[in-house]
Chain A
Amino acid sequence: MDKYLDRLGIYAARLVSQKEYFVPGHRACQGCAEALAVRLMSKASRTNTVIACATGCIEIFSSPFPLTSWMVPGIHVAFENTAAVASGIESGLKAIMRKGRIPLKKINVVGIAGDGGTSDIGLQALSGALERGHNMVYVCFDNEAYMNTGIQRSSSTPFGASTTTSPAGKVVPGQTTWKKNMPEIAAAHDIPYVATACPSYPFDLMEKVRKAAEIEGPAYIHILSVCPTGWRLPPELSIHAGRLAVETGVFPLYEVERGRYKLSIDLPELRPVQEYFRIQGRFRHLTEEMVNKIQRRVREEYEKLKKKVMMTREG
């Protein structure tokens, strides 16, 4: 794999700060990749950060006392308004800095939410914030269903996955709609920075968060967060599943910087999606025909993405 990671080759674990801003002691499930992603994100956004967090797994497992994990100030908002509250924080900080009440300095305002809080109930607030151009980072931790309330489908649940409100049966094969393409929706707002990431690629994730925080204006990062509980896979396969999601092309890692698409990992050949599905209970019922259907779609989408990279290439 490393030869595809040329851009990331300069990183080494020992160059990363040892300082933690999301500390152990929270009550996430065993093997929760979301908790890892939050930790990596916090490492990259560092101090001088304010978090606005929607209702969801992160809020539940990291905020109740004495299991609190945050070393930066944060606000838990209602389900639908992370981006709106983050907008308010950003504007409020701007106002008091302008008045000279606090010294002028860079404060990262980071809105975090799950896939439900981003692509379903929170989409309106997010769209508004991106359009207004607040200088903030919005991170979506996508575990592909409402895991906090007990694995109900969201618009981010992939086609064919079985959840408690899209149960797989004899007639209906689980989720019947395709995953909503949130990074594209964010990119369509013409914001300076959009990226996808996965904690199975930790340095890539941290680099993207760092970049998003530095860029002036709104930035959106979509992080695939493997959920062993909801995806029905052994917790020790969490990181492996994240890698497979990327290597099969189900969840390609890319950036959109000022309209220019760039693949973070350009895979010459995709692994078959079956390898990714095989380890997950939520896809256990899929027939070969359905897997082929999904495989075709994944290839098409990947080709489309590559074309976008070609079309927006510099020079």
Chain B
Amino acid sequence: MEKKKRELLLQGNEAVAEGALAAGCRFFAGYPITPSTEIAEYLSQKLPQVGGVFVQMEDELASMAAVIGASLAGAKSMTATSGPGFSLMQENIGFACEAEVPCLVVDVMRGGPSTGLPTSPAQGDVMQARWGTHGDHPIIVLCASSVPECFHMTVRAFNLSERFRTPVILLLDEVVAHMREKITLPLPEELEIIDRVRPTVPPEWYIPYEDNASGVPPMAPFGEGYRYHVTGLIHDIRGFPTSRSDEIGPFFQRLFRKISQNFAEIHMSETFEIEDAEITVVAYGSVARSAKRAVLEARQRGIKAGLLKLMTLWPFDRPAVERVARGSRVLLVPEMNMGQISREVKRVNNGVCTVVTLNKVDGTLITPDEILKRITEVYQDERDN
């Protein structure tokens, strides 16, 4: 008998939780914070039912630390938070980068800084997701714009973190997190699930951080006889702290190489009506939804508009932006911040076409009308020139 797919009306946060369960997540440690709390609430019920563990920690520092511990023990682990909690997690996110511990951090963006606007949408954590923890490090940051995307990108985020042994950050904004939409959950066999590479050698031969072609060393879970040292200090291939420059250099090279040689696999974006677009909107998160509507309406008015929706924010999707920059006269970057991704777009565009911005930080989402108005303005300006 054919199995029936589950059709649900879910909130973005709940879809993240469903995605985590589908991806094989069996450990969640978190701390209540609006607007991400539903992820914790949902998993506090569902995780024990599939043999997983939900722990509510005493704060976000502890949450992130527990996630690292559980991942080292072999469980796919995650946490979810929002701005203030994300700030507290930064130290341990750095640890996870340094010690190469796969894990997922969901940051539901609200207005900031500090306590900010707890119940309003924003996109102010884009740069923090990239550079929030100190020191040079690579990281993968994804951003979802719909409830189905919340599900699929959570699965994808787990896959990327397992494949590259790196923390992955999934950004939602408050609108996406609390919006309810229909979602058809795929059957388990339809999903590609990637698990971390485990050592094939006996424990006595295992070298935990040895380089190989992929740059991703196999990872042995604690407790299976593989004895090794994990540290936040720069370490040699055996995991022990080192201050030798001939070991530090190759360590950093490998850390960056494992991500940079796989940009094509990590980058995700979607395009809409860009073939003949003169004005291309580059957007992400809930703003991309408004942008799509604006593009449709602009087309109805005879303006050749298109949309590039960024789904991978970091590493920045240079090829996708370069492609639309070559084909368009203007790139419009609407964001619920003072211009974080638009800086990147300007950098990558490098003078090829005009880059204009639409920034809004008043605690409300950017509406299709606002984007349409900006498109029309820009179109007039371009025609007049």
Min C-beta distance of B249 to chain A, whole Å: 37
Known A78-B84, A120-B58; judge A149-B32 contact (CB<8 A): yes
Q: Which of A79, A120, A153, A169 contacts B45 (CB 8 A)?
A: A169
Interface residues on A, range: 20 to 34
Q: Which of B34, B44, B59, B115 contacts A165 (CB 8 A)?
A: B44
Contact A165 B58 (CB under 8 A): no
Contact A78 B34 (CB under 8 A): no
B33 CB contacts on chain A under 8 angstroms:
149
* Any B CB within 8 A of the CB of A1: no
How far, in whole Å, are A155 and B33 apart by their CA atoms in the complex?
A: 16
Closest to B85 in A: A79
Contact A172 B48 (CB under 8 A): yes
Q: Which of A123, A169, A172 contacts B58 (CB 8 A)?
A: A123
How far, in whole Å, are A149 and B60 apart by their CA atoms in the complex?
A: 15
Contact A150 B31 (CB under 8 A): no
A79 CB contacts on chain B under 8 angstroms:
59, 84, 115
* Any A CB within 8 A of the CB of B41: yes
* Any A CB within 8 A of the CB of B40: yes
Known A78-B114, A80-B59, A123-B58; judge A165-B41 contact (CB<8 A): yes
Q: Which residues in window 67-106 of A have CB below 8 A to B?
A: 76, 78-80
Contact A164 B84 (CB under 8 A): no
How far, in whole Å, are A4 and B349 apart by their CA atoms in the complex?
A: 79
Q: Which of B40, B44, B84, B115 contacts A76 (CB 8 A)?
A: B115
Q: Which of A78, A116, A120, A171 contacts B48 (CB 8 A)?
A: A171
* Any B CB within 8 A of the CB of A295: no
Known A78-B84, A152-B32; judge A121-B54 contact (CB<8 A): no
- For B, the interface residue count at a CB cutoff of 8 angstroms equals 19
Interface-centre pick from A55, A79, A165, A172 (highest chain B CB count, 10 A): A165
* Any B CB within 8 A of the CB of A127: no
Contact A165 B40 (CB under 8 A): yes
Min C-beta distance of B255 to chain A, whole Å: 31
Contact B84 A152 (CB under 8 A): no
Closest to B55 in A: A165
Contact A167 B45 (CB under 8 A): yes
Closest to A60 in B: B118
* Any A CB within 8 A of the CB of B37: yes
How far, in whole Å, are A168 and B45 apart by their CA atoms in the complex?
A: 9
Closest to A180 in B: B58
A141 CB contacts on chain B under 8 angstroms:
none
A276 CB contacts on chain B under 8 angstroms:
none
* Any B CB within 8 A of the CB of A166: yes
B45 CB contacts on chain A under 8 angstroms:
167, 169
Q: Which residues in window 146-178 of A have CB below 8 A to B?
A: 146, 149-150, 152-153, 155, 164-167, 169, 171-172
B44 CB contacts on chain A under 8 angstroms:
164-167
* Any A CB within 8 A of the CB of B56: yes
Contact B58 A78 (CB under 8 A): no
B59 CB contacts on chain A under 8 angstroms:
79-80, 120-121
Q: Which of B41, B48, B60 contacts A164 (CB 8 A)?
A: B41
* Binary contact readout B1-40 vs A (1 if CB under 8 angstroms, 0 otherwise): 0000000000000000000000000000001111001001
How far, in whole Å, are A146 and B59 apart by their CA atoms in the complex?
A: 12
A167 CB contacts on chain B under 8 angstroms:
44-45
How far, in whole Å, are A149 and B58 apart by their CA atoms in the complex?
A: 15
Q: Which of B48, B56, B84, B114 contacts A153 (CB 8 A)?
A: B56
Min C-beta distance of B90 to chain A, whole Å: 14
Contact B115 A149 (CB under 8 A): no
A76 CB contacts on chain B under 8 angstroms:
115
How far, in whole Å, are A8 and B291 apart by their CA atoms in the complex?
A: 67
Min C-beta distance of A229 to chain B, whole Å: 15
How far, in whole Å, are A149 and B35 apart by their CA atoms in the complex?
A: 9
* Binary contact readout A166-207 vs B (1 if CB under 8 angstroms, 0 otherwise): 110101100000000000000000000000000000000000
Known A78-B114, A165-B40, A166-B44; judge A146-B32 contact (CB<8 A): yes
A150 CB contacts on chain B under 8 angstroms:
32, 34, 37, 41
Min C-beta distance of A180 to chain B, whole Å: 10
Contact A121 B115 (CB under 8 A): no
Interface-centre pick from B41, B45, B48, B58 (highest chain A CB count, 10 A): B58
How far, in whole Å, are A12 and B33 apart by their CA atoms in the complex?
A: 42
Contact B84 A149 (CB under 8 A): no
Contact B37 A149 (CB under 8 A): yes
B54 CB contacts on chain A under 8 angstroms:
165
How far, in whole Å, are A78 and B153 apart by their CA atoms in the complex?
A: 31
Min C-beta distance of B168 to chain A, whole Å: 24
Closest to A166 in B: B44
Min C-beta distance of A308 to chain B, whole Å: 26
Contact A152 B37 (CB under 8 A): yes
How far, in whole Å, are A166 and B47 apart by their CA atoms in the complex?
A: 12
Closest to A154 in B: B56
How far, in whole Å, are A314 and B202 apart by their CA atoms in the complex?
A: 67
How far, in whole Å, are A42 and B218 apart by their CA atoms in the complex?
A: 60
Q: Which of A55, A165, A171, A172 contacts B56 (CB 8 A)?
A: A165
* Binary contact readout B72-90 vs A (1 if CB under 8 angstroms, 0 otherwise): 0000000000001000100
Contact sample, A vs B, 26 pairs, CB 8 Å cutoff: A55-B115, A76-B115, A78-B114, A79-B115, A80-B59, A116-B32, A120-B31, A120-B59, A121-B59, A146-B32, A149-B33, A149-B37, A150-B32, A150-B37, A150-B41, A152-B40, A153-B56, A165-B32, A165-B40, A165-B54, A165-B56, A166-B44, A166-B56, A167-B44, A171-B48, A172-B48
Q: A166-B56, A167-B44, A172-B48 are in contact. List 11 more A-B contacts (CB 8 A).
A: A78-B114, A78-B115, A80-B59, A120-B31, A120-B58, A146-B32, A149-B32, A150-B32, A150-B41, A165-B54, A171-B48
Q: Which A residues fall within an 8 A CB radius of B? A: 55, 76, 78-80, 116, 120-121, 123, 146, 149-150, 152-153, 155, 164-167, 169, 171-172
